[in-house]
Structure 1
């Protein structure tokens, strides 16, 4: 959660100048704080019947868009690379760059449109979130104002550290306050509450050079509604993905998705990269922990 230098690039796929303004400014903030380079990318889709080698003739104003995006950070000490990738789909183009280059983070935009049954956040977003070999940040594309107060809900899990790290970078660059909260459900046990409070304490202790940090523990029947209500008082909400189950359809979790659609603040959702072996270890651990409870229930039911 400190501003330690990391060498992996931040990949920012760009489609038009409107999205470039929102995405590049956020990526540049994180890059500036962490000393990381930016990799600006435009993917040009090539029809199946056309060889990828002939994709160059499909280039229109994409170079101008990349130049425009790069100019946004020319006054900052950030290394910037611009790329055009020819691919069969937007997602495959993004993923191929992420696999071939030293990409540590992908930052993508999301317009928060109503959910369709077959698509969660968006066809390209869903694929990148599922398959990317790196961290993925998803920013809701809405009007950005000044950044003075950041909301950071925490509950533990594999994405908490990344969410805190991103929030810390943005707070340092903008001299902004971070308001860290945990939301307890009345159904939670004392042990669960204590574990969340330990996470809260660890997150706050990990921040360095953040001007103002506040914390709050809230009791609520609806975690998502509480976070949405809290977002009314901030400029940006940073949310960690909650979905860990390998067999669930969700790519980022129902809670951050719901908050992302309803929040009045800008929203940045984060999903930390986890390789398959580590995810299987956690899944096996959860199954083992649940067995004694299952046995107890079976005995009580006899």
Structure 2
């Protein structure tokens, strides 16, 4: 992925970034019904990092469509009104929180590639995506647009299940089994808890009758996450559970939001976010956000970086 847009991309609208902001949250928006929910999460995260928000919307047209040959003025005049209205609503919501927000309205034949190009161009620190559960083929987990974004984005990715909201957030559930993906999840949980004067419950699970080594590992996972949570009330637990996904779903009933890192997979066929995270995201009652650390470079990429670096 390079820093330039692909030849099929067209920029309809792109604001200059805010000066002096060390952190950028990019929010991909399409459905006007999801703007308020996603912007609530984005403003919490941006405000906690003294950052800005970049809202991006992509008008999708097939690669063979003559639409890609139209001038920017014609696109604005005939096709962009609905998507620009989505971005303008997002801007208004962020401004209510005094968070700087900038817009990107683009045309592309591949929505995920266009968003990834924008992530690179703006050097975004995190990418927030909305996900709505639907029946999909077995090889597609979140959607044909979301799967490539979650796999390939170089920044932290947050996938929020849209359509389920909480009137207020008093308690956040943050399960952990260790690994790199829980770190951005902890950062998000901290930002949301601080913004809402909420507490965070950090929990890890061991099998029934688990060994001392398993309990020690679970405790170390909880301690590592707790150390990242500064200035918010934290409850720490290690529980026994035959099925961690079932246990998380049960615990979620007493919380207003669930944040969890993409779970690690040991199968040869790696899943996008892990089977436990997928199960929890589909079954829990309160809103849920899945966090994933930015994609690691390939072995070849790391070798080249070492060679040239």
TM bin, normalised by shorter chain, reads 0.7 to 0.9
CA shift for structure 1 position 122: 1.0
Cα distance in 2 between the residues matched to 1:69 and 1:246:
40
TM-score between the two structures when normalised by the length of structure 2: 0.83
Partner of 2:258: 237
Q: Does 1:181 align with 2:196?
A: no
Superimposed CA distance per residue, residues 112-152 of structure 1 (whole angstroms, 9 cap, x where no aligned partner): 22343131111111010111111110000123121111000
Write out aligned runs for 1:130-149 (5 A).
Answer: 130-144=151-165, 145-149=167-171
Alignment partner of 2:130 out of 109, 122, 126: 109
CA distance in 1, matches of 2:301, 2:277: 23
TM-score, normalised to structure 1's length?
0.85
Listed as ranges, the gaps of 5+ residues in structure 2 are 1-19, 303-309
Instruction: Name the CA distance, whole Å, in 2 between partners of 1:278 and 1:166.
Output: 29
Q: Of residues 182, 201, 205 in structure 1, which corresponds to 2:227?
A: 205
How far has the Cα of 1:196 moved from its partner? Answer: 2.0
Query: How big is the shift at 1:233?
Result: 0.6
The answer to whether the aligner puts 1:38 opposite 2:60 as a matched pair is no
**Is it true that 1:88 corresponds to 2:104 in the alignment?**
no
Q: Does 89-98 or 111-120 show the bigger shift?
A: 111-120
Q: Which residue of 2 aligns with 1:125?
A: 146
Identify the residue that residue 54 of structure 1 maps to in structure 2.
70
- Match for residue 236 of structure 2 among 215, 230, 235: 215
- 1:209–1:202: structure 2 CA closer, same or farther, 3 Å change rule? same
Cα distance in 2, alignment partners of residues 237 and 90 from structure 1: 28
SS in 2 for 1:20: helix
Moved more, 61-70 or 257-266: 61-70
Aligned equivalent of 2:175, options 142, 149, 153: 153
Residues in 2 aligned to 1:69 and 1:205: alpha-carbon distance in whole angstroms:
33
Q: How does 1:73-84 map to 2 (within 5 A)?
A: 73-84=94-105
Are the structure 2 counterparts of residues 232 and 245 from structure 1 closer, same or farther at C-alpha, using a change threshold of 3 Å? same
Tell me how large the CA RMSD over aligned residues is. 2.3
1:179–1:214 Cα contact (<8 Å) kept: yes
- SS of residue in 2 equivalent to 1:204: helix
Q: Which runs of 5+ in 1 are unaligned?
A: 282-302
Show the counterpart of 1:24. Answer: 39
Q: After TM superposition, where is structure 1 displaced by more than 4 Å over at least 4 residues in a row?
A: 244-247, 277-281
The answer (yes or no) to whether the contact 1:52–1:86 under 8 Å persists in 2 is yes
Are residues 243 and 182 of structure 1, via their aligned partners in 2, closer, same or farther at CA, if it must alter by over 3 Å? Answer: closer
* Deviation for aligned residue 1:60: 3.3
CA shift for structure 1 position 227: 0.4
C-alpha separation between the residues in 2 aligned to 1:247 and 1:100? Answer: 33
C-alpha separation in 2, matches of 1:258 and 1:152: 15
